[in-house]
Amino acid sequence: MLRHVCKSEKYIRVEILLNLHMNIIFADAHCHFNPIYGLGAREIARRFKRVNGWFIAFIGLSPHHYGMDLTLDNYFRAHEIAIKECKRAREEGLEIACFVGLHPADIDKLVNVKKLKLEEVLNFLDKVIDHVVKLFKEGEVNGIAEIGRQHYKTEPQFLVLANLILDKVLELVKDYNMITHLHLEQAGYITILDIIKRVSRLGVPREKILIHHARPGTLEHAISSDLIASTPGIEPVLRIAMNFEPKYLIESDFIDDPKRPGIVVEPWKMIEYELKIMREKNLNEDYLWKVNVDNIVKFYNVNVP
């Protein structure tokens, strides 16, 4: 149920919809936070809880998002920031999964900005990944994210390096039973076929991998291939995604950057879109329950509070 009434104008539309569907609770499968420049995880969790949010998977950002240089020590500091932020979010009463790692775009930055050679970047990021594994073993994080390939035009050698890192992480997922979020290009069947072949070759359990930010054109191929995928909760994307079977997750991919407000979508706004489209399509409430609860519980191994 709606835990308390919020009178601010930005919540009024979702509050009306929630009053009509009080039994539905909502999850955000991939969300960022920035306590230096943005709201921070605690405030995001607080606002999400106001609109029946129960679970958020928080993904730590790379050091430059916090105003820090891309040094190894600063990656470790960024991981510490993420862990502390996840703990603060849990104090708001939500279930939180916490992920740290690196972003494929960091490869470009380490070469173009830090002027490292490709082999130096590989060695550098190996150490970052090894630190994440250490944190996972200590129970501080739930897995590594977000790993994969650049989704924009880049140098071919950068993509080769990204694939080397991707394979290393997939092997660690297998070895340590970790969860990972994959950041990939939107190439539809080709993207999904590549991941299927990689996990099959490496013996990686598919149930430990999330295809992050899978838009229509890629999402349906993930679903048909029994890969877990999360789709961004923006209105035009959800209008298509909610025609598919409820075998996926929904994410805000909120970056918590005041210079880019609302990007990709605010978690509380995402809920409004879900309810609005559910009603327009005359979907049963069970549809959103499967997406926001059943699928989350299964993938993240969490319990409904």
Q: How confident is the model at residue 13 (pLDDT cuts 50, 70, 90)?
A: confident
- In Å, how far are 36, 110, 122, 253 from 71, measured between CA atoms? 18, 9, 14, 25
Q: Mean per-residue pLDDT for 37-57?
A: 97
Q: Mean per-residue pLDDT for 95-122?
A: 96
Q: How confident is the model at residue 6 (pLDDT cuts 50, 70, 90)?
A: very low
Q: How confident is the model at residue 23 (pLDDT cuts 50, 70, 90)?
A: confident
Q: Phi, psi (5° rounding) for residue 121?
A: -65, -40
Q: Mean per-residue pLDDT for 231-242?
A: 98
In angstroms, the CA 149 to CA 195 distance is 11
Q: Mean per-residue pLDDT for 34-58?
A: 97
Spatial CB neighbours of 256, under 8 Å, sequence gap ≥ 6: 32, 33, 34, 37, 38, 39, 40, 44
Query: In terms of DSSP bridges, do strands 209-212 and 249-251 run parallel, antiparallel, or are they unpaired?
Result: unpaired
The pLDDT of residue 22: 65
Q: Phi, psi (5° rounding) for residue 51?
A: -115, 40
User: Which tokens in the block code for residue 199?
Assistant: 């996990």
Q: What is the pTM of this model?
A: 0.93
The pLDDT of residue 1: 35
Ordered by where they begin, the domains of the chain are: 15-256+269-300 (3.20.20.140)
Express each pLDDT in 273-290 by its tens digit.
999 999 999 999 999 999
Q: What secondary structure does DSSP assign to 22-68, as a single string?
A: TT--EEEEEEE--TTTS--HHHHHHHHHHTTEEEEEEEPPPGGGGT-
Q: How confident is the model at residue 226 (pLDDT cuts 50, 70, 90)?
A: very high
In angstroms, the CA 275 to CA 283 distance is 10
Three-class SS state of 94? coil
Percent of residues, the chain, with pLDDT higher than 90 = 91
Any idea which of 54-58, 150-154, 238-242, 295-299 has the lowest mean pLDDT?
A: 150-154
- In Å, how far are 15, 274, 294, 303 from 298, measured between CA atoms? 28, 21, 6, 9
In angstroms, the CA 168 to CA 174 distance is 10
| CB of 266 closer than 8 Å to CB of 26 | no
Q: Mean per-residue pLDDT for 183-208?
A: 97
Q: What is the DSSP letter of 2?
A: -
- Residue 219, pLDDT above cutoff 80: yes
Average pLDDT, rounded, for the chain: 93
- Closest Cα partner for 88 from 46, 27, 49, 52? 46
What's at 175, amino acid-wise?
D
Spatial CB neighbours of 121, under 8 Å, sequence gap ≥ 6: 107, 110, 111, 161
Percent of residues, the chain, with pLDDT higher than 70 = 93
Q: Mean per-residue pLDDT for 23-29?
A: 94
- In Å, how far are 86, 223, 252 from 231, measured between CA atoms? 22, 11, 8
The pLDDT of residue 3: 39
